[in-house]
Amino acid sequence: QVALYKSVPTRLLSRAWGRLNQVELPTWLRKPVYSLYIWTFGVNMKEAAVEDLHHYRNLSEFFRRKLKPQARPVCCLHSVISPSDGKILNFGQVKNCEVEQVKGVTYSLESFLGPPISTEELHFSQAPPGNSFQQQLVTKEGNELYHCVIYLAPGDYHCFHSPTDWRVSHRRHFPGSLMSVNPGVARWIKELFCHNERVVLTGDWKHGFFSLTAVGATNVGSIRIYFDQDLHTNSPCYSKGSYNDFSFISNNNKEGIPMRKGEHLGEFNLGSTIVLIFEAPKDFKFHLKAGQKIRFGEALGSL
């Protein structure tokens, strides 16, 4: 069954769905189409910056609707906030170079992030290459590596934001498959997140290594990073099994891309998954429960 599902041309289907989403709907058809979607997925339109359904010319615009400015207050008391609305699938310390996508189902940290990035692109020195991949990411003595997985359902707000104050130095794009990341499928397919198309943003925050990965899914081939105009996801010119790198460190910009906590970072079409993997001192504590709903701006954890 797994092999049969993996053989489905999800990238092609997702591109077709993307084109369909961009077809402009007649004004008279917009309200019934969007109302059906709202009813099916429990969308709260009272939070939308524009509540009038006739405003959205196509499904793509409706999926990517913005929120009212005060709909998601950003928590100032905690060092890491949720970058998006969604459901907490898993969180905790990374152990033995393995990360849990859902409880009991793991994937390889190195397969997910890809080979180590050149130290010239990062603002800190890395551990000797003889150490494990996980140990190479931890740059300060006494620190641990942590992870958090947030699943965005189709009815959620689809933009994502910076979870903390950090600097983005590198982007790695894995074309990959576009299988569903629904928690039920995540329990079924080991290393699902390593198979799927994803965009890994890597950099540093005040405690060392920090990364945010936007994972694509069926009908979510479009991942947009606002400051990265060169990124084109679910494109037929990229083959699965490869990856391409882009550095934001240059002679003119040695600092990379500075991001403030809560700042707009990117968006999905439909729903998908955000994975945070970061370094922090041993007394870092998550303020979460597995399976809980969370909204952008709420606390994930702090020291």
Q: Which residues are catalytic?
A: 85, 161, 272
DSSP element (H, E) containing 133: helix 133-137
d(CA 226, CA 176): 21
d(CA 165, CA 299): 14
d(CA 73, CA 275): 22
| Assigned token pair, 123 | 């603002």
How many CA atoms lie within 13 Å of 122's alpha carbon, on the beta-carbon side? 22
Asked whether the beta carbons of 123 and 254 are under 8 A apart, the reply is no
Residue closest to 44 by CA, chosen among 73, 65, 14 = 65
| Assigned token pair, 264 | 């707009």
